[in-house]
Amino acid sequence: MATLDKIEVKDGVDQKTVEAVHEVGQTYKHGWNTEIEMDYAPKGVNPDIVKLISKNNDEPQWMTDWRLQALERWERLKEPTWAMVSYPEIDFQDIYYYARPKSMIEKPKSLDEVDPKLLATYEKLGIPLKEQMILAGVEGAENAPAEGRKVAVDAVFDSVSVGTTFQDELKKAEVIFCSISEAIKEHPDLVKKYLGTVVPVSDNYFATLNSAVFSDGSFVYIPPGVRCPMELSTYFRINAENTGQFERTLIIADKGSYVSYLEGCTAPKRDTAQLHAAVVEIIVEEDAEVKYSTVQNWFPGDEEGNGGIYNFVTKRADCRGDRSKVMWTQVETGSAVTWKYPSCILRGNESQGEFYSIAIANNHQQADTGTKMVHLGQNTKSRIVSKGISAGVAQNTYRGLVSMHPKAKNSRNYTQCDSLLIGGKCGAHTVPYIEVKNNSSRAEHEATTSKVDDDQLFYCRQRGMDEEAAVALVVNGFCKEVLQALPMEFAMEAQQLVAISLEGSVG
């Protein structure tokens, strides 16, 4: 690893750690692309493009109008500049807003009809769409049943959903899990009722753009009292060049239901930057619980900072009912620029929001990420654990809001954000906003920034560990809280991605 020399490594930082962190940015294993015939809409965004996307998706008129209204709003908005990220100006008229594999023009009726090249793409990514291949047993997982755990996957390739697995089994449980384009046709009432109620059309610049041009995404509805029998997952893949991906995910957990949802993302290596502006809306009704886990591994750009994905994402969960609960877990290792704040609106009394995040920025990556916890109901609770690791010349920022409204009596928040710096040219920043407007609530915020702590290292060494093992243990502990919050399948992938010598802790 000759390029390692470029990173200035300080004493006490384990070489393995450096290599592992380096590897995340260096050897992007999902950087290949699929040679497949694509059908593009012309570049740029205007009412005609929006109408075309709407038409390609076979949408009813109300949806087209909704999009056009969003476009009109977007044209009047300004791109936000407050995040601690810098990137060359994006020419929004020089992007393809719609690209689909030609074979998908006539939607295949079952997975058997899907272009084998597409299926091969997902297999290569380790996302087998064929149901029989999904029985991937997880070794050492004590709680997992013997035959392994099932995961239903909705795979999105550029602008279209390729297919959704386990449809039959989900139907039995009355769970609706399909692409959003399908949901607009099949379940218009649900979509109409919930779409845009958590992230309003003109919420922010990128969400508004998404509202106008979103092409596909996933839709989940869990009926009252149903515990979703398997984990649901969406896999996003940007393949085409100069294409923006704008997916929209809508998850509704009705009263007393439960679902765990996973999201993964990759893109080929290209030397020009690509835009990804997604919106995720989650509605959690009374006594329902949603777990949303992300492993974001978009192409981060090369070592010189060329190319990569600009990841400008709006994710928000609305805990509408009493005792509802939402948990965001994210492992952010990819993207050249990340701008992402998965948030919780704690409206119901005794509702809970949790946010666990690991953000790794290496080389020229820039990450400005965090969360918002808006406490509106009484006795609401939130917990934020954010771990940022910076290496190379990367900048990593935690930006968060904790707000306790006057009526949110007896609410609690605990925030911890820790940053670890590897090498002397990177930056780690913390920008928390804390607003407490009543006195029965308690907000606690703690943040630290350091290299590997000397005292901890000394303690371990004093117990007879060599330095490398000691550092591995300390760094391992640094991320552990977040890794433990991930579902088993993701924890494995995340562990590989984070790849910071986590000997013996997870799995």
Partner 1 sequence: MGFVEPNNALLDLWLDRAENQTDKGWSGQQRADARARVQKMGLPNRRDEYWKYTRPDRLTEAAVPTAELLSSEDQEIFSGFEQIKIVFVDGVFSPELSDALDGHDVSIELLSQTRTQEGHWASDIFGQLEAAGQSPVERPLAALNTALAEDGVLVHAKGATSKPVHLIYLRQNQSCDVMLHHVVKVDSGASLSFLESGAVGARSNLVLETDIEAAGSFHHVRIQGRDHQRLASTHQFARLRQESTFKSFTLTANGALTRNECVIELLGDDGIAHVAGACVGDGDFVHDDTVFVTHDAVGCESRQVFKKVLRNGATGVFQGKILVKQDAQKTDGYQISQSLLLDEDSQFLAKPELEIYADDVACSHGSTSGAVDEDALFYLRSRGVPKALATDMLTLSFLAEAVDEIDDAELINSVVEWLEGWLERRRT
**Length of the chain (residues):** 507
How far apart are CB 451 and partner 1 at their closest, in Å? Answer: 5
**In whole angstroms, what is the distance from residue 293 CA to residue 233 CA?**
9
Closest distance of CB 415 from partner 1, Å: 9
**Distance, first Cα to last Cα, the chain:** 28
Question: Cβ of residue 84: shortest distance to partner 1, in angstroms?
Answer: 8
Closer residue to partner 1, CB minimum distance, 279 or 393: 393
Q: Which two tokens stand for residue 412?
A: 């609690």
CA distances 140 to 172, 403, 507, Å, are: 30, 41, 6
The CA distance from 182 to 184, in Å, is 5
Q: How far is the CB of 166 from partner 1 (least distance, A)?
A: 45
Task: Give the C-alpha distances (Å, rounded to integers) separating 352 from 119, 358, 468.
Answer: 39, 20, 39
Nearer to partner 1, 8 or 48 (CB): 8
Residue 306 or 449: which CB sits closer to partner 1? Answer: 449
Mapped onto helix, strand or coil, the DSSP state of residue 432 is strand
Helix (H, G, I), strand (E, B) or coil at 357: strand
Least distance CB 92 / partner 1 (angstroms): 21
Partners of 355 in beta bridges: 328, 384
Longest distance between any two alpha carbons in the chain, whole Å = 71
The two tokens of residue 148 are 């392994």
Name which of 11 and 147 has its Cβ closer to partner 1. 11
- Between 8 and 94, CB nearer to partner 1: 8
Residue 206 CB, nearest distance to partner 1 (Å)? 19
In the complex, what is the shortest distance from the CB of residue 431 to partner 1, in angstroms, rounded to a whole number?
5
Sign of the alpha-carbon torsion through 95, 96, 97, 101: negative
Tokens of 100: 């689909």
Which C-beta is closer to partner 1: that of 195 or that of 452? 452
Q: Which is nearer to partner 1, 102 or 407 (CB)?
A: 407
Q: What residue spans of 13-137 are helical by DSSP H?
A: 15-26, 47-56, 61-76, 116-124
**Closest distance of CB 438 from partner 1, Å:** 5
CA–CA distance, 394 with 293 (Å, rounded to integer): 24
Q: Which residues in this chain contact partner 1 in the complex, by CB under 8 A?
A: 10, 82, 406, 409, 419, 421-451
Per-position b or e across 170-205, b if 16+ CB within 10 A of its CB: beeeebbbbbbbbbbbebeebbeebbbebbebbbbb
| Torsion angle (degrees, nearest 10) of CA 185, 187, 193, 198 | -80
Task: Name, in order, each residue with C-beta under 8 angstroms of 191's C-beta and a sequence gap of 6 or more.
Answer: 180, 183, 184, 219, 250
Burial 401-413 (b: 16+ CB within 10 A, else e): bbbbbeebbbbbb
Q: Which is nearer to partner 1, 447 or 469 (CB)?
A: 447
In the bound state with partner 1, the residue whose beta carbon lies nearer, of 50 and 389, is: 389
**Residue number with CB closer to partner 1 (433 or 458):** 433
Q: If we measure between CA atoms, which residue out of 257, 316, 231 comes closest to residue 282?
A: 316
- Shortest Å distance, C-beta 213 to partner 1: 26
Minimal distance in Å, beta carbon 485 to partner 1? 23
Question: Smallest gap, in angstroms, from Cβ of residue 263 to partner 1?
Answer: 29
Distance between CA 70 and CA 67 in Å, rounded? 5
- Pairing state between β 176-179 and 218-222: antiparallel
Q: Which is nearer to partner 1, 62 or 458 (CB)?
A: 458
User: Minimal distance in Å, beta carbon 381 to partner 1?
Assistant: 14
Nearer to partner 1, 269 or 451 (CB): 451
The CA angle 166-487-356, to the nearest 5 degrees, is: 130
Helix axes 467-483, 15-26, angle to 10 degrees: 50
Question: Residue 487, CB half-sphere, CA atoms under 13 Å: how many?
Answer: 24
- Tell me how far, at minimum, the Cβ of 437 lies from partner 1, in Å: 4
- Of 51 and 412, nearer to partner 1 (C-beta) is 412
